[in-house]
Structure 1
Amino acid sequence: MQAPFEAERTWQLTIALLSSEGEIRLPIVSSGVRPMYGEDYFSKCAVRVLGRNKQTSATVVWSDPTSCFYGEQQWRRSIAKKAGVCALSGHVIATGDAVYRPRLVQPAPRNIEAMILATVMEAIPVEEGV
């Protein structure tokens, strides 16, 4: 039986070989959570905001075809502790920017490093009854 990270690596190699790009990129693995760095990473993810609770939290659908799916993931407003890329807009996030991040639960979600700029999140209209 393969170890979890070996199985993931094998799967990603297979997908890379089948893709039209033919480019093989191995994930960086640390403490069981794959960092989500890179300018083009979030272009492969489907991110949809289901609703917001004022300006403190949001419910997000997150789908990464090679890593994880969260149907109703809770995100909390916070301050970026490091630079990154907004998962919705692709804009650069600087340290100290207001962002939304996945709520830390156990085990840690695979997309724990993801961020959405607060200005982008708060520009999304909130539907009544959501």
Structure 2
Amino acid sequence: MLLSQLDPWVETIRLLSSESRYPDIVADTTPVPKRGRSCGCEVKSSANCPPHLKVSLIERTTSSTVTIAWRDPTSCFYGAQIWRLASAKASGVCALTGQRIRRGDRIFHPHRSKPVPVNARAMILESALNAIEPLRASQA
């Protein structure tokens, strides 16, 4: 089949669904610097986890803020997004581990800004980040 005969939408979905990389596609090929371990859906056991979502801890900047890399080819990409510590205002699911989050649990969430981030309702349990990279005394 000639390249000009391919349906652009079908080809886009095929590329997003495949794990292979093409050398002529430059989007999202630069590695994101990170500290700790890279975390994504492959470590989750929850059925609520989309298989394409990748979440990585880049850095613990302070005791109440972290920098997260959020990669979701179906909705958004944030290479270095600031997340803040808070108490969960609603129940949900931890984007890092798939664990259940209950209202009142200590969580990190994306910093509120304008425009509102696409993943504004996402949450990561504080305990999940502590398991990856414990808070050092110099950050407290």
Q: Pick from 75, 82, 86 the counterpart of residue 74 of structure 1.
A: 82
Which residue pairs with 2:122 in the alignment?
Answer: 114
Q: In the alignment, which residue of structure 1 is the partner of 2:100?
A: 92
5+ residue gaps in structure 2? 1-8, 18-46
Write out per-residue CA displacement over residues 46-75 of structure 1, whole angstroms, 9 at most, x where no aligned residue.
100001024200000001011100011000
Mean Cα displacement is larger for which, 98-107 or 53-62?
A: 53-62
**Any residues of structure 2 matched to 1:7-86 within 5 Å, and which?**
15=13, 39-41=48-50, 43-86=51-94
CA contact 1:55–1:122 (8 Å) conserved in 2: no
Q: Give 3-state SS (helix, strand or coil) of 1:105's partner.
A: coil
Matched AA of 2:13: I
Q: How far 1:44 sits from its partner (Å)? A: 2.4
TM-score (norm 2): 0.61
Moved over 4 A (4+): none
Matching residue of 2:6: none
Give 5+ residue unaligned stretches, structure 1.
1-10, 20-37
- How many aligned residue pairs are there? 98
What is the distance in 2 between the residues matched to 1:125 and 1:114? 20
Larger radius of gyration: 2
Question: Cα RMSD (Å) of the superposition?
Answer: 2.7
